[in-house]
């Protein structure tokens, strides 16, 4: 995979812009905003998805498969770090001397001249971003936005707006969140991750300090995880709002009751404000507290801010119900870090009742699987009833010899509660064979494990018919 290069900003005389990998969640949203801004664009991707068809419906020429000819007459090329060094379009762009712009620089160009709200953190940023966008729309603001996941109530992950506010999910994985000219930053947590890029936990923390210090108006940051507290302590006289369950939090989360939905109270400046969300889980109450901190920083009245957050209906791939067959419910979840898995399964436990939780887990990144195998085992064996582990999704990484899902499974104290299955159809068939009415089967991971869901629903249907 290519090394992320942020040295090239979007040129003013960009001409036609070609997106390599235009169907990705982040790229497609940026591409839609370029279309709205009147910029002629083209793109390519490896498969024709609904996202690709949505862009084609807006007049964008999208080629399937990567080929140098796809560049056509493009004068600027936008890429992500997920493409390979030998990608023919990337190679051809270099040979032609075209400006090659990282997608984060393209997004930074779009956000210029706006009051930017940027949300970062190892977990919870997609949901927190969506909560803020949902609330602003309910409050009569019309922000531009780019989120890392589709907002269920809106059916989109990105849209232009008429106000001066622009809300973005800022990606810390490759350091690109440092490119933005931010007014208000929200840091959901600083749980160490992406150490293949940063090299150490200390460097990861340093990057968040830099991100926070760039916020011109205010930093909203978790009060709960140790590295967030450490970051806060390094911000000097910056305007800071902390949120969470800690007694010292400026926005303090109290009285949490979670089942199929979650209710809670926020204590802010000596007053209490209560609501019930339409989604479940303590983690969503914490996300709402952070979103609340941003909204009051934007000068919205506290109770109105909280009431509008409660209109949030969730985002795609965040504990999203995809079907129920024979009493077995199939949920899709993006969780791919031990902390995210803990939050997702804890929330699911409050909903499933007496049923069992059966994740089909796709490890994400070889380095994360290698470095966190013990943490994955801890959370999966503790919170899931039976886990099916399928092959690692490498994303931007090449395989590492010996790094497979078996690294996690081999650490189980009770090996009867875990299965390693390399073939997806076999995994779907096996999940269907052990699931009983009332159980939740949850394909889980940050890669393409959601694509197993049709196979899983079909396998459940065949078993139910039999």
The catalytic residue among 76, 125, 188, 242 is 125
**Cα angle 163, 111, 239; round to 5:** 80
Crossing angle, helix 282-297 and helix 125-138, to 10 degrees? 50
User: From residue 184, how far is each of 3, 112, 166, 269, 429 by CA, in Å?
Assistant: 29, 14, 10, 19, 48
Chain centroid, CA 344 distance in Å: 13
| Cα separation, 168 vs 138, whole angstroms | 18
| Cα separation, 74 vs 18, whole angstroms | 6
The secondary structure of residue 278, as a DSSP letter, is S
Chain centroid, CA 336 distance in Å: 10
The verdict on whether 462 is a catalytic residue reads no
433 in Cβ contact with 403 (< 8 Å): no
The catalytic residue among 51, 76, 111, 126 is 126
The verdict on whether 169 is a catalytic residue reads yes
Beta-bridged to residue 305, according to DSSP, are: none
The verdict on whether 125 is a catalytic residue reads yes
The catalytic residue among 51, 127, 129, 169 is 169
DSSP string, 85-133: TT-HHHHHHHHHT--EEEHHHHHHHHHTTSEEEEEE-SSSHHHHHHHHH
Using alpha carbons, select from 266, 259, 277, 276 the residue that is nearest to residue 242. Answer: 266
Indicate which residues carry an active-site annotation. 125-126, 169
């Amino acid at each position: 995979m290519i090394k992320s290069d942020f040295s090239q900003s979007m040129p003013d005389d960009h001409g036609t812009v070609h997106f390599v990998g235009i169907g990705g969640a982040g790229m497609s949203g940026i591409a839609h905003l370029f279309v709205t801004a009147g910029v002629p664009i083209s793109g390519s991707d490896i498969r024709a998805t609904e996202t690709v068809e949505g862009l084609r419906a807006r007049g964008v020429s999208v080629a399937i498969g990567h080929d140098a000819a796809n560049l056509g007459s493009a004068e600027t090329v936008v890429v992500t770090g997920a493409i390979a060094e030998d990608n023919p379009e990337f190679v051809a762009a270099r040979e032609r001397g075209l400006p090659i712009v990282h997608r984060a620089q393209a997004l930074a160009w779009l956000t210029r001249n706006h009051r930017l709200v940027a949300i970062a953190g190892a977990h919870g940023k997609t949901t927190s971003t969506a909560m803020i966008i949902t609330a602003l729309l309910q409050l009569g603001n019309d922000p531009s936005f780019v989120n890392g996941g589709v907002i269920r109530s809106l059916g989109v992950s990105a849209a232009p707006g008429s106000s001066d506010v622009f809300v973005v999910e800022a990606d810390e994985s490759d350091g690109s969140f440092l490119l933005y000219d931010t007014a208000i930053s929200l840091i959901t947590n600083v749980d160490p991750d992406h150490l293949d890029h940063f090299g150490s936990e200390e460097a990861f923390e340093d990057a968040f300090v830099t991100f926070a210090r760039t916020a011109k108006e205010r930093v909203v940051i978790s009060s709960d995880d140790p590295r967030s507290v450490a970051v806060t302590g390094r911000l000097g006289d910056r305007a800071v709002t902390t949120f969470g369950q800690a007694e010292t939090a400026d926005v303090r989360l109290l009285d949490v009751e979670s089942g199929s939905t979650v209710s809670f109270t926020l204590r802010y400046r000596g007053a209490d404000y209560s609501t019930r969300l339409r989604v479940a889980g303590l983690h969503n109450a914490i996300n709402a507290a952070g979103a609340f901190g941003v909204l009051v920083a934007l000068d919205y009245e506290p109770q109105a801010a909280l009431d509008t957050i409660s209109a949030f209906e969730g985002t795609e791939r965040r504990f999203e119900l995809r079907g129920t067959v024979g009493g077995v419910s199939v949920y899709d979840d993006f969780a791919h870090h031990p902390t995210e898995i803990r939050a997702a399964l804890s929330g699911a436990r409050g909903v499933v009742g007496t049923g069992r939780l059966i994740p089909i887990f796709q490890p994400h990144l070889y380095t994360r699987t290698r470095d966190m195998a013990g943490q994955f085992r801890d959370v999966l064996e503790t919170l899931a009833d039976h886990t099916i582990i399928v092959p690692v999704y490498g994303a931007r990484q090449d395989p590492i010899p010996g790094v497979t899902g078996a690294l996690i499974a081999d650490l189980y104290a009770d090996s009867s509660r875990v299965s390693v299955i390399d073939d997806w159809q076999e995994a779907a068939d096996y999940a269907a064979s052990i699931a009983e009415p009332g159980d939740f089967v949850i394909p889980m991971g940050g890669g393409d494990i959601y694509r197993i869901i049709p196979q899983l629903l079909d396998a459940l249907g065949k078993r139910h018919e039999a």
